[in-house]
Structure 1
């Protein structure tokens, strides 16, 4: 599938949303040290905000794949982003639209950690 096609991007978007919102699919969620240092209540709030995030725009999602988000909690700016690895985590995924060969990594961080 052509990585520039609408079909490819729609499939990546669907897989990203399913993993981000419901934990469906093969992947991992990584929280940075800065997120952990804020305490469990903040961590819960951050995860809930990522799961319900729907403020995708041309500025933060130019390829319409829902692979990046930016939001604030109590004035603290945060980011989340997806990276795509091979199923065995030994390199980049050959096809992010194919869940049989892709391990999604969703990283959630304070903007200051970027």
Structure 2
């Protein structure tokens, strides 16, 4: 009988704060997602891949919302400057890395075929 009174008192004290409701909803969704991924019948690598892709998708979703808001507030020029500032160096590094690996691969292939002597390449 005492439990009913305690439960009744707990539910009688309702909060009208939308922030608390949203926080509880997000926490519940996050806990459910983590539990469902951890108990899925996938291998460890598959599970880690799902978590990584989910985090990446979440990041891109937030980034898209941020860019839309930024576009409405500051205009398209601000987004273009942001892309040049943050994304171009990332791709520049990727392209340079890819080119170096391609050159090494070509040299290894030339060494294997006897087209380049040891002292030359």
TM-score (norm 2): 0.22
Larger helix proportion of the pair = 2
Larger strand proportion of the pair = 1
Higher RCO by CA contacts (8 Å cutoff, separation 6 or greater): 1
Greater Cα radius of gyration, structure 1 or 2: 2
